[in-house]
A and B are shown apart, each in its own frame.
Chain A
Amino acid sequence: MSILVIAEHDHAVLKAATLNTVTAAAKIGGPIDVLVAGSGCAAAAQAAAALAGVARVKVADAAHYAEQTAENLAALVVANVSGYTHILAPATTFGKNLLPRVAALLDMAQISEICGVESPDTFVRPIYAGNALATVKSADAVKVITVRTTGFDAVGQGGSAAVEAIPAGPDLGLTQLVGRELTKSARPELGAAKVIVSGGRGLASGENYHALLEPLADKLNAALGASRAAVDAGFVPNDYQVGQTGKVVAPQLYLAIGISGAIQHLAGMKDSKVIVAINKDADAPIFQVADYGLVGDLFQLVPELTAAL
C-alpha cells in the first residue's frame, strides 16, 4: 500500500486542509507521499516535507501550474500514479474540482468526502446532506478519495521527508484564468477558524448582517459565516455559506444568529464543539442542537453580547 496526497497550497504555504488530508492518509496506513504542483512552490514543498509521517514530497514546478487548473493538474497526477494504491485530496473546492477528473482518467470511482476510515478499502461518508452516513467499500485498484477536513485532525510537524523534483506534465492550454476576486479579510479562514459567528435570514438585510455581526466577530477573533437562506437573500457572498452545499465546519465555538436551523445548515456545523443559538422563535430547530440557546430579539441581544465580551 502506498498513498499519494495532492497538496492544496498557494505556492508559498500549505492550505490547512492538506494537513487534515495527511491525517486521513495515515489512518489508511502505508507510506505517504505528497505531490506539490505549482509555480515557484519550493516553500510549499518544504512545508509538506516537515509534516509528520510524510515519506517523500514530489514537486512539479512549472508556470502552467500557477493557476492550479484541474485540466493540467489531472494530467500530471495521472502521469505519476504508478505504484500508488490511494490518491487523496481535501474535499475543498480545489480537491472537488480536480479529483473526479483524475478518477475518470484512471477509470476509477471516486469516494467523496470521507469522514472516517474503516479499513484500506472501506470508508464512511455522509450522504443526503449529512442525514445519513454510508459505509462504502471500493473494489478499484486505486482508491481515489476526497477527505472531509472536519473528520480528521490536522497532522503535526516534525517530519523531514525527502523533496524530489519530478518532470512537469503538458500544458493542455484548455483554460485561461481571467482573474480572482478573493474576499479580503483580516479574519481567520472559515474552514480553519476556532470561532465562527454565523448569520441567517433573521438579520433581514446585508446591512444588518455586517453592522451586527462584524463587531461581535472582531471581539471573538471569529470568522463570519452564513446560512444558505442568508446567501440566497443576497446578504453575503456564497463563500460565507455553511452547510451541505457550502462549507462544512467544526470550530470550538459556533454562534448561530437568526438561523432557524434548516437540515442542510445543520449538516455543515453540527460537529462544532459548542453551539450557541440566538433566535426569536423558541421552537426553531437550531435549539435542538445548540448547547446554549437564547430566545429573543437578536437586534437587541447581539449588541448586548458584543458589549459583554
Chain B
Amino acid sequence: MKVLVAVKRVIDYNVKVRVKADQSGVELANVKMAMNPFDEIAVEEAVRLKEAGIATEVVAISCGATHCQEQLRTALALGADRAILVETDAAQTENLQSLAVAKLLKAVCDKEQPQLVILGKQAIDDDANQTGQMLAALLGWPQATFASKVVVADGKTTVTREIDGGLETLSIRLPAVVTTDLRLNEPRYATLPNIMKAKKKPMDVLKSAELGVDIAPRLATLKVVEPAKRQAGIKVADVAELVAKLKNEAKVI
C-alpha cells in the first residue's frame, strides 16, 4: 500500500509572528521556517504504517517554491522513501490557497495512485483546515478528519476522530484521506545519520503548470492587522480579595 503525506512549509511555531507595517501580511523575511506541526504528525503516522509492514512506500509531497525542498528533506529524514515538490513560482506561492493545493494534490494522486493520503488537519499559518477535506471531495474518496488513532486492515481504515464533546470511530473504505489531530502520535526527531541518508533519497520536482490545474487565488487579502490588545488587569493579594473583586467589581459570580 502506498501512502502519500502532504507537508507544508510554514513559520516555525516558536516564532513570534509580526504583522507588516503596510498591513499587507505578516513578516516572512529572515524568519525561521519549518514543517507544519500537524504535518509532522502525518509523516510520523505514515512512517509507522511502513514500520508495521502495512505501507510499502511513503511519498512526501509539498506544493510551493523551491525552498519547500527543505521540509521535504525533513520528511525524508523522518522516514519517507521519496519526495515530490510541486513547484510554483514566487507570485503563485505567496497566494497558494487551499483549493488550489487540493487540486495540485489531486493531480499527483491521479498519477501516484496512493491508497491513503495523510495530511495535517490545519496549517498554523492560515489556519484554514480545508485541504484534506477538499482533496477527498475532488477524488470522490471518503475522509476521516482530526484523527487520533488510525488502524489499517482488510482494505479499510478504522479512524478514531476528535470531535466536539468526545471521540468518534469511523470505518472507511480505502482509498481514503485522513487528517491528523494532536494526539495521533508523537513525532520522532530526525537523527543525524537519517538526515545524511535523506540527502540521497529521490526528490522529483514537477512544475505546477505541467499538472494543468487552475491555481489562481479566489480570495484577495485586503489587509492584515494585529488584533486589539487586551489590557492587563491587576494582581490581587489573596483569595478573599479575588472573590470580593469577582462579586462586587466584575459581578460575574
Whether the pair A291, B233 counts as a contact (CB closer than 8 A) is yes
Whether the pair B137, A308 counts as a contact (CB closer than 8 A) is no
User: Which of B162, B232, B243, B245 is the one whose CB lies under 8 Å from A308?
Assistant: B243
Q: A94-B164, A289-B232 are in contact. Are A135 and B242 (CB under 8 A)?
A: no
Determine the distance from Cα of A223 to Cα of B225 in the docked complex, in whole angstroms: 32
Cβ-based interface call for B163 (8 A):
yes
Of chain A, the residue at the smallest CB distance from B234 is A292
Cβ-based interface call for B190 (8 A):
no
Whether the pair A239, B138 counts as a contact (CB closer than 8 A) is no
User: Which of A105, A135, A263 is the one whose CB lies under 8 Å from B137?
Assistant: A105
Whether the pair A97, B145 counts as a contact (CB closer than 8 A) is yes
Whether the pair B98, A101 counts as a contact (CB closer than 8 A) is no
Cβ-based interface call for A193 (8 A):
no
Cβ-based interface call for B199 (8 A):
no
Whether the pair B127, A238 counts as a contact (CB closer than 8 A) is no
Q: A231-B182, A305-B242, A305-B243 are in contact. Are A189 and B234 (CB under 8 A)?
A: no
Whether the pair B129, A74 counts as a contact (CB closer than 8 A) is no
Determine the distance from Cα of A228 to Cα of B138 in the docked complex, in whole angstroms: 33
Whether the pair A131, B17 counts as a contact (CB closer than 8 A) is yes
Whether the pair B250, A100 counts as a contact (CB closer than 8 A) is no
Cβ-based interface call for B44 (8 A):
no
Whether the pair A96, B137 counts as a contact (CB closer than 8 A) is no
Of chain B, the residue at the smallest CB distance from A220 is B253
Whether the pair A100, B182 counts as a contact (CB closer than 8 A) is no
Cβ-based interface call for A211 (8 A):
no
Q: How large is the interface on B (under 10, 10 to 19, 20 to 34, 35 or more residues)?
A: 35 or more
Whether the pair B163, A178 counts as a contact (CB closer than 8 A) is no
Cβ-based interface call for A113 (8 A):
yes
Whether the pair A290, B125 counts as a contact (CB closer than 8 A) is no
Contacts of A183 in B (CB 8 A): 165-166
Determine the distance from Cα of A123 to Cα of B250 in the docked complex, in whole angstroms: 32
User: Which of B38, B144, B224 is the one whose CB lies under 8 Å from A133?
Assistant: B224
Interface of chain A, main secondary structure: mixed
Of chain B, the residue at the smallest CB distance from A293 is B235
Contacts of A273 in B (CB 8 A): 250, 252
Contacts of A109 in B (CB 8 A): 97-99, 218-219
Whether the pair B253, A128 counts as a contact (CB closer than 8 A) is no
What distance in Å separates the Cβ of A85 from its nearest Cβ neighbour in chain B?
15
Contacts of A134 in B (CB 8 A): 221, 223-224
Of chain B, the residue at the smallest CB distance from A245 is B182
Whether the pair A179, B218 counts as a contact (CB closer than 8 A) is no
Cβ-based interface call for A82 (8 A):
no
Whether the pair B245, A292 counts as a contact (CB closer than 8 A) is yes
Residues 237-257 of chain A, each 1 if its beta carbon lies under 8 Å from chain B, else 0: 111010011010000110000
Determine the distance from Cα of A264 to Cα of B168 in the docked complex, in whole angstroms: 25
Whether the pair A239, B162 counts as a contact (CB closer than 8 A) is yes
Determine the distance from Cα of A70 to Cα of B177 in the docked complex, in whole angstroms: 12
User: Which of B17, B125, B181 is the one whose CB lies under 8 Å from A238?
Assistant: B181
Whether the pair A176, B171 counts as a contact (CB closer than 8 A) is yes
Contacts of A174 in B (CB 8 A): 141-142, 172-173
User: Which of A107, A140, A180, A276 is the one whose CB lies under 8 Å from B242?
Assistant: A276
User: Which of A135, A182, A287, A301 is the one whose CB lies under 8 Å from B221?
Assistant: A135
Cβ-based interface call for B122 (8 A):
yes
Whether the pair A291, B250 counts as a contact (CB closer than 8 A) is yes
Report which residue of A178, A270, A291 has the largest number of chain B beta carbons within 10 angstroms of its beta carbon.
A291
Contacts of A207 in B (CB 8 A): none
Of chain B, the residue at the smallest CB distance from A105 is B137
Contacts of B234 in A (CB 8 A): 291-293
Whether the pair A239, B163 counts as a contact (CB closer than 8 A) is yes
Determine the distance from Cα of A100 to Cα of B138 in the docked complex, in whole angstroms: 11
Cβ-based interface call for B65 (8 A):
no
Q: A93-B146, A111-B219 are in contact. Are A132 and B163 (CB under 8 A)?
A: no
Cβ-based interface call for A81 (8 A):
no
CB<8 Å pairs between A and B, sample of 5: A112-B126, A177-B171, A238-B148, A253-B246, A294-B239
**Interface set of B (CB-CB < 8 Å, partner A):** 11, 13, 16-17, 19, 26, 38, 97-99, 102, 122, 124-138, 141-146, 148, 158, 161-173, 181-183, 218-227, 230, 232-236, 238-240, 242-243, 245-246, 250, 252-253
**Interface set of A (CB-CB < 8 Å, partner B):** 69-71, 74, 92-94, 96-105, 107-113, 122, 126-140, 174-183, 189, 191, 195, 220, 228, 231-232, 237-239, 241, 244-245, 247, 252-253, 263-264, 270, 273-276, 282, 287-295, 301, 304-305, 308-309
**In the complex, given contacts A70-B143, A101-B137, A180-B166, what are 13 additional A-B residue pairs having Cβ atoms less than 8 angstroms apart?**
A71-B143, A93-B146, A100-B130, A103-B137, A104-B137, A113-B127, A126-B227, A129-B17, A129-B124, A131-B16, A175-B144, A228-B182, A274-B250
